[in-house]
Amino acid sequence: MARAVIRLCAGIAAALVLAAPAFAGPVTLRAEVNDADGRVTLGDLFEGAGGAADVLVANRTGPTVVLDARAVQVMAHRAGLQWDNPQGFRRIMVRGGGATTASTAASPAAARGNVEVLAYGRSLSAGDIVQPEDLVWAKAVGAPSDAPRDANQIIGLAARRPLREGALVSTRDVSAPVVIKAGEMVTVTWSDGYVTLTMQGKALKTAAAGDTLNIQNPASKKVIEAVATGPGAAVTGPEAQRLKAAGSQFAAR
């Protein structure tokens, strides 16, 4: 009986060892990533990944893949790796043959006098919403005067015009996404905190979230001023005044 208990305990211990992640301790984010096969692993991302090196993080199906730094940190922790993200990165952009990390700080200057600037990783049509995977860091002789220093300044905004793959990113390329189109019916809300009234009206112009626009009551033909708050929705009255005073922006991020 005692021998059976010993064998059972030994089996449980072995199972726990096999189930536990391979601990490798503190790791450092690599400056360059070689993911020619399209598989991005913890070993690709981190120096010293040890037994966790083959853990798959993502598959790169296009020229780039953008990883959420917090999600990568959690995945690394579960695999027994300690990455404190001392630079405060929010996203990690990985492209074939190399990787660039995006943070709130300006991108580093590249060697030989070139600079690292944001470029479009694919062509976009007017109105397309810029996604993280649409942006890559590229070397250029110089950057546009209004070049964003952080990818998060562009992600979630809409292309003002067609943008071609490889073009350098300018803040003039994008604007807040359109949520109301001219001529469509919009739900307008008026509220003073105690009483709330709603009506349907026709938008007299196209508006992005946070824009002021005129809306016509189809019955009385009266025109009121409102602030767009979302798809097919706007507010008027005290709430609209508060939003205009605060200069709020509702661009999706």
Which of these ranges, 36-40, 117-121, 165-169, 213-217, has the smallest mean pLDDT? Answer: 36-40
Q: Are 231 and 212 in contact (CB under 8 A)?
A: no
- State whether residue 81 is helix, strand or coil: strand
Q: Which two tokens stand for residue 61?
A: 């199906």
Q: pLDDT class for 84, splitting at 50, 70, 90?
A: confident
18-44: average pLDDT:
70
E strands in 44-114: 46-47, 56-59, 64-68, 81-82, 91-95, 98-102
Domain ranges of the chain: 23-101, 106-175, 178-246
Mean pLDDT of 132-142: 79
Looking at the domain covering 106-175, what would its CATH class be? alpha beta
141-164 pLDDT, tens digit per residue, is 677 788 888 888 888 899 989 999
- Longest alpha-carbon distance in the chain: 92
Note whether 75 and 108 are within 8 A (CB).
no
* 174 has a pLDDT exceeding 60: yes
Integer CA distances (angstroms), 224 to 123, 131, 170, 190, in order = 39, 35, 35, 11
- pLDDT confidence bin for 106, thresholds 50/70/90: very low
The CATH code of domain 178-246 reads 2.30.30.760
pLDDT at 196 over 70: yes
Q: Are strands 81-82 and 56-59 parallel, antiparallel or unpaired?
A: unpaired
Question: For residues 42 and 29, is the Cβ–Cβ distance under 8 A?
Answer: no
Q: Which of 124, 158, 53, 138 has its CA nearest to residue 95?
A: 138
pLDDT surpassing 70 at residue 85: yes
Average pLDDT taken over every residue of the chain: 77
